[in-house]
Structure 1
Amino acid sequence: MKKFLLFSIIAGLIASCTVVKQGEVGVKRKFGKLSSNISDAGLVSFNPFTTTVIKVPIRTVNQEVKLNLPSKEGLTIESEISILYNIAKDKVPFILEDVGENYERVLIMNVFRSAAADVTAQYMAKDMHSGMRGQIENQIQDRMHESLLERGFIIERVLMKSIKLPAELSRAIERKLQAEQEAQQMEYVLDRERKEAERRRIEAEGTRDAQKILAEGLVREIIELRSIEAFRELANSPNTKIIITDGKTPYLINNQKD
């Protein structure tokens, strides 16, 4: 009998306590009425016959949604989107009383679907698959923030993880991207050829200018000087030569060794 009584007492103590984990808060509901007091993480005691403890996460929650979104041209885009949000701690009793424990399905998801459809309907389907995706995400987040902030929900981010375009549109975008890449490659080749042509033009101009300067510098005195130098080199050479000259310019017509 004593063992049974002790077991009953222990069971009663266990049943009258619950643990609120880190990242959660607890709110007691007694006879259907919510308490305005919030229990932080730790051991919470309560009367199991009259009271229950509702645990609500206040950490960041990731809600993933698969949704068909409309585009500006009337197409349906399959998408997978993550909603990152958290709940303001002091708003938890109000949320439970005003919306209930199913606040995510009742409120957050409905607001998200409406905001997402309104935003994507302003964009072409290809925009959701391009660099404008971030802009679309921010606009959806802003609309949700406007509707939910006063009610205690903080929308941290909206992330479009996956976008599946209609097959024909996807192929058209791929063809366009390929054409743009080919055009960029051709522009690169043309630019390289233009630079090479410019290099050759500058080189030709340099050669022409050098020849012009050389021609202008070949005056009579310089020619005579070069002739004297040539005579001197011929005189010092051991080879037999036949030279025709007018005394000014040597002209070598034979150059053989003895």
Structure 2
Amino acid sequence: MVTLDFRTLTVPVGIVRILELILTCISFSLVASVGNSTDSFWTWCMFTWCFCFCVTFLILFLELFSLSSKLPISWEDFTAAFAMLATLMVLAASIIYPKFYTCSSCSKQIGATVTSCLAFILYAVEVGLTRAKPGELSGFLSTVPGLLKVLEAFVACIIFICLDSHKYSSYPGLQWCVAVYSISFIFALLVIIFTICRLLSLFPAPFDKVLTACNVLAVLMYLTAVVIWPLYSFKNNPRPSSCKAGFLCPWDNLVVISFMTAFNLCAYIADTIYSCRLVFFVSRT
């Protein structure tokens, strides 16, 4: 039987989600009113605001009608993972859109940027509200290692978007880097899917030990990628003179990949430290 639970709209996380709905709706409405564009960055920003609006609305709807508990998934893990993903996506949109589409006299574009930045702050607040507190029983994805898994998968997606197959297909070193990104991404994605779908019991070994071993392996692989990628990408390959300042050109994607590789290495190191702490210290005590 379906029952209305209005308390879900009045608790702090419910109020935050309602504000997220309003701000993401305002953002894509303002941008849509300016006009359409076939540019990939414009499409990404619009997709981000629409996607976050739709999923946030779905979460509020399911909780309001008490349907979330009837789903065959871990609801806490799903909402925590989405809050982290939305935070990262809206942050990227809040940086990309003003960089390429906002000017000093563009009032609607400026308004969309402001509301997008506010939405990012609210999603970050939601991450804080849904994150598991010390000593609290909760789903894996609401813990720090779980949130780091979402971050690692998102950064890998940015790397994949910037990759150009023509650039790395003839260099074994760059092919190894792509293999590093792919293997690490696949495992992070599997962890997220298995956690949300409550399938962790299918792992052939204790999950915490499997997670720690894979994190250590990912750190070692990313250590090689953080050296090999810039070495092969920028050797005898200065920034072309045709790349104008303030405009993104294909060469700049190499810089983005280098930065994101180093960033993901730091994320995997932090993830490994947390995992080792859970396995070798917390579990023993």
Compute the TM-score of the two structures, normalised by the length of structure 1.
Answer: 0.21
Taking CA–CA contacts closer than 8 Å with sequence separation of 6 or more, which of the two structures ends up with the larger relative contact order?
2
Structure with greater strand percent:
1
Larger helix share, 1 or 2: 2
Q: Which has the larger radius of gyration?
A: 1
TM-score by length of 2: 0.19
